[in-house]
Structure 1
Amino acid sequence: MKKSILFVFILLAFGGVLFFYNLGGWDLWNPDEPRYAQVAKEMLQGEGWIIPHLNGEVYFDKPPLFFWLIAGTAKLIGGMNEAAARFPSALFGIGIVLLLFFLGKKLFDEKAGLLAAFILATNIEFIWLARRASIDATLTFFTTAAITLLYLGFYQKRGRWGFYLLAYLAMVLAVLTKLQIGVIVPVFVIGGYFLFRREFGFFKDSSHIPGIALFIAIIGGWLALAYLSGGGDYLWGLLYQKTSSRLLEETSHTRPLYYYLVNFPGNFIPWIFFLPSALIYGLSHKERTKEFVFIVFWFAIIFVALSLFKAKRELYLLPLYPAAALMVGALLAKLPLGAEGAVKRICSIPLMVMIVLLALIAMSLPIVAALKGSFYLEHPWEIGLITALITGGGAFLAFLAHRYRRRDLPFYIIVAMVLALTLYGAGRIFPEINKYKSARPLAQAIVGAMRPGDQLGIYQLEGANFIYYTGYNQMRWLEDERKLKEFLRSSQGVFCIMRERHYKLLQQDPTLVISVVATGQVGSKHLAVISNRQLP
């Protein structure tokens, strides 16, 4: 028990540094961050807490819980800013890490839980999403909690209904975070697993009844309030047009069936090298247990189900990352990276592959930074050299620890290397990239040029970043050229943000009297701000 408490404090300290260091050190970046922060800001400005709004209009895409969390954080710290927008993700990122420690301890042993927690915390996709104003870390906490409570609850002789009640509460919060996927993930994982195991008693258990009643009461109450506030059109848009239909129909996120097969390995770096070994070892006849089969099923059912949906984004897979971390953690707890013996080759071979690749990356980083980094960075050589030293040093030390059979030391060297890279990235790299990615400078130029009564529009761009950084939440969304020209011919002063190539096409129309207010680059987009007002 004392050791578990110590491990919890270690994970809290580690996660606190990893996820919170310089959390507000750069601006909110597209596609999601400024949009979610703006929705929360409009809640604070009086648009209402039941139905989210963006740009003064009903925002159908997501339910309100995540925006409540951002708005609540902003209230606590005295105002909306980048740290407030990212705080919920970082907080729930630590929550998932701690939850995985306890689940790993229950399924395997304390060491497996600790290693799995570190593995989850230090893969690049999890770090990225736990440090962004992104819904998916919050969603993954609730889906992981629901899966954990339903699975462990089934094997309890007493108090099973309490586990189930908390599981259904977690599903309530998951639905309020990201709608149907908050139920789909735990139902597919737990329901599918117990069907696979022919454990039909799970489905007949009356202990579910209080939890189901709680779920229906809370979600039903929320839907009733939403209906009273927004009517049937709002519920139709929220529950189908902007959510479910995107999973089944062609959307801007439509990807091929094999999309996740290509993307997941790169996102689970550096631990992806050990995942095949974990599957081979854990599913071997001698080592196979129902607990390991459960986490393999968890991983596989989500991977397959989400691959079948037409809409795909890398972050959609985050709810299976805890299962992947548990598989690798269970392997490395039994077969430490620095141990001896022929069977340990199942770990030593992927470790050597990883070390070689890290060494190659370290050697190439200064060159790549010098050739390509000057476009994004002010100090490409410095950043290239320091990241190379951290990466190469980590690879070399891990090799030495393995060579001299220091058991778990290679693992913790890799963890420390990822921590060092993350802190350097958060403190140095991302603030420099911010000048390339941020909409703030162009937004400030717009604010400086606009007068009271002027109107702002945006042409064929998302625009939430400009709404957030201009503070102007009555922006006109313009999608076709005819409406754009009507807007620019308005008798009042108007400004419009568009791509530079669209501005060059407008210059060919002699009936338009327009001038350029400012130009700039936001990400890969070269933008111009134009006005029908002649500026000095």
Structure 2
Amino acid sequence: MRKRLPAGTYLFILAVITGTAYFINLGYNDIWNPNEGFYADAVRHLLQNNNLLDFFFNNEYRFNKPPVTYWVIALSCRLFGLSEFSIRLAIVLLALGTCFLTSSISGMLFGKKTALWSGLVMAVSFQFLINTRYATPEIPLTFFFTLTMYFFVRFIVFRKPFALWSAWISLGVTMLVKGYPYLIIIAAIMASYAFFSTGRNFRSFVHKLKQYRILTGIVIALVIGMSWPFYSWIKFGNDFLQVLDTETTYRAFRYQTDWFHDLFFFPLVMLWGFLPYSLVFIPVAIASAARADYRRELLLPFVWVAVILIVFTIAKFKLPTYFIQAHPAMAVVTGWYLGQSRFSFGFERWIKRLGIFLPGMVFIMVFLAAMSLLNTGRYYLLLLLLPASSLILSYRNSDKRWILGTFPLTALVALFLLFTATVLPSLEKVRPYKEIGAAIRSRLNGKNSYVFLENRFLHNLPYYSRQKTAAISSGVLQKISVQVPYFLLAEEKDTMAVAQGSTLWKGIVYKKNSEAAFFPFLLSYYHYLHGDSSGFRKYRLLMVFPGKNILPQGYPERK
């Protein structure tokens, strides 16, 4: 007789392994270009100035994002010191918190078994997972967005007034992560749920909105969420308003793009961004929406996903990260399906082939390809015991379907462990930013200077150099005139003509400004390992001792 694995034990073990994977080599990589550089340098200034309201990047005011992301990173750095690890630690902790909240929402709606599934699905959703490796607002935004929805669900289920007011307060904090558009999005989710849950009866709909204290709640959210923008407007006036307009209304309504591309942008993002379970979620969502009983049962996560999809499809400017806030709802639906058999045998068979086996096998093939192409140690093949365990246990267990559903999850976790343990650390061979910054700081002796970069801007260099940094063209390398010794990072071939300079460092730097497009960067690194360094350029760092005492035209004074 086959023994049944204790309920939840295997999933709990996988949850521990996945959570541990989040921390592996978290602080090993230098600050990533460009986005992480903004937050690292801004937090450095925040800690240096003890100013929680005015943010600086590269010694200039930065208005682009509200303060909560800076605050949570700064808290981590205050507790553990300023480092790559502490900068990212806050992000990882909020990511784990998001998984817990997703699990809790699922548990309140559908029970404990579904809860554990939903939390795990959220933890390994591809786009969410990769955003845990660097400090940007996406994970804090997802956490506070999900926290708002968690309290909203608690109010729906338990009718506790405290939960309702906590939801509105959390919405205000969500606005302090990425702006007032999220008031519109979350209020639209609440209103849509009220409308459809009352059978589209207008009188019942209005009554439901009154139960939500929607007018009072919006006022509370506005007071909290608009407090920092109001402060910045009072202090900085039009300088702040121009940035606010660029970050919000320009992106939403005036950004030029192609409508046909817009229509399919986020469905495609959903397909790859929610791997390994997107091919489970999509057919399950479609099949469930076609049945009235399932549609009612899944109404809240359905309207959550639908509102985000509609709002950001209408908005002109699009980034894949905008859809991460829909992942908790998608994880709830996926967990609802994986935790229980609700469909016909034929449907289940196709889900097993298309949504379970196919993504799992694809990730295993990517794992093997990465090992082969990037010359990792063969002992990392042991990581494939993870997906193998799900196949073996499903064969030996009476609840085959329940265990088999973990196959794509374990395959992705194995791949993630491979990258965090060996691939990402190996990239530091071609990421010398900390080394460049250390060379600059070693010559300053506490004094201020300038760093000039030829034909580019490295967003993490202000953090590592602790100096004002500017991009200049090749034609003015010999025309720089400043009153103090300065630093020049330029292509090696162009530094030969610069007089009065001493070499502090030389090596290769990735030729593109952004590493956010990670696959091209990884491809360049692969070619570099095989003797082709065309994706990188030889650079030299000089300390130059000028004779004239003027700043170059257009170069801003230090603040």
- Which category describes the TM-score, using the shorter chain as reference length? 0.7 to 0.9
Amino acid at match of 1:299: V
Gapped runs of 5+ residues in structure 2? Answer: 1-5, 516-520, 522-535, 547-559
The amino acid across from 1:471 in the alignment is R
CA shift for structure 1 position 349: 2.2
Distance 1:534-1:168 versus aligned 2 partners, 3 A rule = same
Partner residue of 1:393?
388
Query: CA–CA distance in 2 between the matches of 1:11 and 1:210?
Result: 43
Structure 2 letter corresponding to 1:348: R
Q: Are 2:184 and 1:192 equivalent residues in the alignment?
A: no
Kept after mapping to 1: 8 A contact 2:168/2:217: yes
The amino acid of 1:129's aligned partner reads N
The match for 2:149 is 147
Q: Which residue of 1 aligns with 2:178?
A: 178
| Corresponding residue SS for 1:407 | helix
Aligned with 2:417 (options 401, 407, 423): 423
Residue range with higher mean Cα deviation, 238-247 or 484-493 = 484-493
Is the alpha carbon distance of 1:493 and 1:143 closer, same or farther for their aligned partners in structure 2, counting shifts above 3 Å? same
When structure 1 is superposed on structure 2, of 312-321 and 439-448 the one drifting more is 439-448
Match of 2:97 in 1: 95
Q: Which amino acid aligns with 2:400?
A: R
The Cα shift of 1:514 comes to: 7.8
Structure 1 residue 283, shift from structure 2 partner: 2.1
Partner residue of 2:62?
Answer: 59
- The alpha carbon displacement at 1:208 in A equals 3.8
User: Match for residue 495 of structure 1?
Assistant: 487
Task: Measure, in 2, the Cα distance between the counterparts of 1:233 and 1:269.
Answer: 43
CA 1:367 to 1:85, structure 2 compared with 1: closer, same or farther past 3 Å?
Answer: closer
Give, in angstroms, the shift of residue 312 of structure 1: 2.0
The answer to whether the 8 Å contact 2:179/2:225 transfers is no
Counterpart contact for 1:497–1:527, Cα < 8 Å: no
The CA distance in 2 between the partners of 1:112 and 1:253, in whole Å, is 40
Is the 1:139–1:174 contact (alpha carbons within 8 Å) kept by the matching residues of 2? yes
Shift of 1:166: 0.8
Higher RCO (CA 8 Å, separation ≥ 6 residues): 2
Greater CA deviation, 348-357 or 247-256? 247-256
Distance in 2, Cα, partners of 1:364 & 1:127 = 17
Question: Residue in 2 aligned with 1:464?
Answer: 459
Aligned counterparts of 1:250 and 1:412: Cα–Cα separation in 2: 41
Whole-angstrom CA distance in 1 between matches of 2:157 and 2:148: 15
Are 1:303 and 2:303 counterparts? no
CA distance change for structure 1 residues 348 and 83 in 2, over 3 Å: closer, same or farther?
farther
Other-structure match for 2:84: 82
Q: How far apart, CA to CA, are the structure 2 residues paired with 1:23 and 1:316?
A: 24
Residue of structure 2 aligned with 1:113, choices 107, 112, 115: 115
Would you say 1:351 and 2:357 are equivalent positions? Answer: no
Indicate yes or no: 2:233 matched with 1:235: no
Task: Please give the per-residue CA displacement for 1:142-171, whole angstroms capped at 9, x wherever unaligned.
Answer: 112223333553565x543x2321111111
Give % identity.
19
Structure 1 residues 460 and 254: CA distance shift in structure 2, 3 A: farther
How far did 1:459 drift?
4.5
> Does the Cα contact within 8 Å between 1:61 and 1:242 map onto a contact in 2?
yes
Instruction: Work out which of the residue numbers 315, 318, 328 in structure 2 matches 1:312.
Output: 318
For the pair 1:521 / 2:517, whether they are aligned, the reply is no
Say which is worse superposed, 461-470 or 211-220, in terms of deviation.
211-220
Structure 1 partner of 2:136:
134
Give the AA of the match of 1:122: V
Name the CA distance, whole Å, in 1 between partners of 2:448 and 2:260. 43
Counterpart of 2:544? Answer: 533
Distance in 1 separating the partners of 2:104 and 2:387 = 33
Q: Secondary structure at the match of 1:102?
A: helix
Corresponding residue for 1:376?
Answer: none
Which 10-residue stretch deviates more, 168-177 or 355-364? Answer: 355-364
Does 2:437 correspond to 1:443?
yes
Cα gap change, 1:492/1:413 in structure 2, threshold over 3 Å: closer, same or farther? same
Q: Which amino acid aligns with 1:239?
A: L
The question of whether the paired residues in 1 share the 8 Å contact of 2:495 and 2:540 is answered with no
State the 1:292 CA deviation: 0.9
Deviation, structure 1 residue 314: 1.9
Which amino acid is the alignment partner of residue 52 of structure 2? Answer: W
- The CA distance in 1 between the partners of 2:257 and 2:455, in whole Å, is 14
Letter in 2 for 1:232: G
Change in 2 beyond 3 A, CA 1:23/1:349: same
Contact 2:357 2:407 in 1 (8 A): no
Unaligned 5+ segments in structure 1 are 337-341, 374-378
Could you give the per-residue CA deviations for residues 490-513 of structure 1, whole angstroms, max 9, x where no partner exists? 565433335x4xx76x689x8999
507 and 36 in structure 1: CA distance in 2 versus 1, 3 angstrom threshold: closer
Structure 1 residues 221, 297: CA separation in 2 closer, same or farther (over 3 Å shift)?
A: closer
Q: 1:283 corresponds to which letter in structure 2?
A: A
1:307-386 alignment runs, 5 A limit: 307-335=313-341, 343-353=344-354, 354-356=356-358, 358-359=360-361, 362-363=364-365, 365-367=367-369, 369-371=371-373, 373=374, 379-380=375-376, 382=378, 385=381
Change (3 A) 1:35 1:253: farther
The separation in 2 between residues aligned to 1:303 and 1:519, in whole angstroms, is 45
Determine if contact 2:95/2:139 at 8 Å carries over to the other structure. yes
TM-superposed CA distance for 1:173, in Å, is 0.9
Structure 1 residue 234 displacement after superposition: 4.4
Pairwise CA RMSD:
3.9
User: 1: CA distance between counterparts of 2:381 and 2:114?
Assistant: 35
SS in 2 for 1:294: helix
Select the residue among 260, 263, 267 that pairs with 2:266.
Answer: 260
| CA pair 487-344 structure 1, distance change in 2 beyond 3 A | farther
**Aligned twin of 1:339:** none
| Alignment correspondent of 1:250 | 255
Runs of 4+ more than 6 Å apart: 3-12, 251-255, 510-516
**Contact 2:489-2:541 within 8 A present in 1 as well:** yes
Partner of 1:293: 299
Q: Deviations over 1:239-272 (max 9, x none)?
A: 3233432333338999941333333322211111
**1:251-302: CA deviations, max 9, x gaps?**
8999941333333322211111211331133223264242313312211221
Deviations 1:447-483 (A, max 9, x none): 45678564212345342211112222x22344x667x
The one-letter code matched in structure 1 to 2:87 is A
Instruction: Read off the aligned partner of 1:165 and give its amino acid letter.
Output: W
Which residue identity lines up with residue 347 of structure 1 in the other structure?
Answer: E
Cα separation, partners in 2 of 1:219 and 1:299, compared to 1, 3 Å? closer
Q: 84-93 or 404-413: which moved more?
A: 404-413
Partner Cα distance (2:406, 2:461) in 1: 42
TM-score, scaled to structure 2: 0.78
- Go from structure 1 to structure 2 and tell me whether the alpha carbon gap of 1:214 and 1:83 turns closer, same or farther (over 3 Å shift): same
Q: Structure 1 residues 393, 209: closer, same or farther in 2, change over 3 A?
A: same
- Other structure's SS at 2:114 match: helix
Instruction: Give the corresponding residue for 2:52.
Output: 49
Asked if structure 2 preserves the Cα contact closer than 8 Å seen for 1:24 and 1:81, the reply is yes
Structure 2 CA distance for partners of 1:381 and 1:91, relative to 1, 3 Å: closer
For the 8 Å contact 2:127–2:273, the answer to whether it is kept is: yes
Q: In 2, Cα distance between the equivalents of 1:12 and 1:384?
A: 20
